[in-house]
Structures are given as C-alpha cells and as structure tokens.
Amino acid sequence: MKEITVLEAKRYGAFHCNPEMKLKDAASQMVEEDISGLVVIGDDRSLLGIITRTDLLRAWIENPSWDVQPVCAFMSREVVTVSPQDSIRDVARLLIKEQIHRAVIAQAVEDKLLPLGVISDADLVYHMARNE
C-alpha cells in the first residue's frame, strides 16, 4: 500500500452539528447521510466533541426522553485527532490501539482545533482493497 496521508485518503467531508442540536435531529442526520458519527463544533467552528451511533444508543437506553436531549449531554468530549499529514498506516495503528472506528482530522489554529474531516476504518479498508 502506498503511503498516503489521511487528508488524501478521506472519502467524505466531515458532517457536523452544534452541541445544542437535539439527539433525534442528530440521529436523523446520520441516517440521511448514511454516516456513523457527527463532529460537534462550536460557534467558532472549533472541535468540541463527537457524537456517534453508539452514543445515541446509550442515550436511548439510559433516558426515556433521549430524543429531546442535546447532543452535548451524550457526546464524547475527548476526541482522538490526527493531523492532515499523518499516514494512513499510522492512523490504522492508532484506531486499533484506541479501539475506535474513526478519528477527526484536525489542524491547530492558535489555541483551538479546527476539524478538517473524519478518517474511518472504512476509509482505510477502501484504500487497502484498492492497493493504494
């Protein structure tokens, strides 16, 4: 497999939401876009967290009124990030080590992280199958 960067390997843009979005709306967006997670951003477009299908399931099980809860109540605030220059092999190692399915590609600008995209295990397998 040729060494390409995560920015070259990502196949889709980063879908995002704000922390006050209702979980039902986040779930609907994931279904409509056929994605498994949304990057949560602030008004300044900085990275605040990530909400995944697993987080939605946890909310559904733990809270009868899950659908009207805000994303910020169930999102993961500790997000695994990678830089745009990281190789996909390095990202594969990171995903395995952290036992996760995706990492946010982010760039540090001043004192905040700006999300540029998401790289998932599905993206990596796509490139493996294409022998890139």
Q: What is the 3-state secondary structure (H, E, C) of the chain?
A: CCCCEHHHHCCCCCCEECCCCEHHHHHHHHHHHCCCEEEEECCCCCEEEEEEHHHHHHHHHHCCCHHHCEHHHCCECCCCEECCCCEHHHHHHHHHHHCCCEEEEEEEECCEEEEEEEEEHHHHHHHHHCCC
Q: What is the pTM of this model?
A: 0.89
Tell me the per-residue pLDDT of 20-64, one tens digit each, with 9 for 90 and over.
999 999 999 999 999 999 999 999 999 999 999 999 999 999 999
Q: Domain residue spans in the chain?
A: 6-129
Q: What pLDDT does 39 receive? A: 97
Residue 1 has pLDDT above 60, yes or no: no
Task: Classify domain 6-129 by CATH number.
Answer: 3.10.580.10
**pLDDT of 2 strictly over 80:** no
Per cent of the chain over pLDDT 90 is 77
Residue 12: predicted pLDDT: 63
Q: What local confidence, expressed as pLDDT, does residue 9 receive?
A: 75
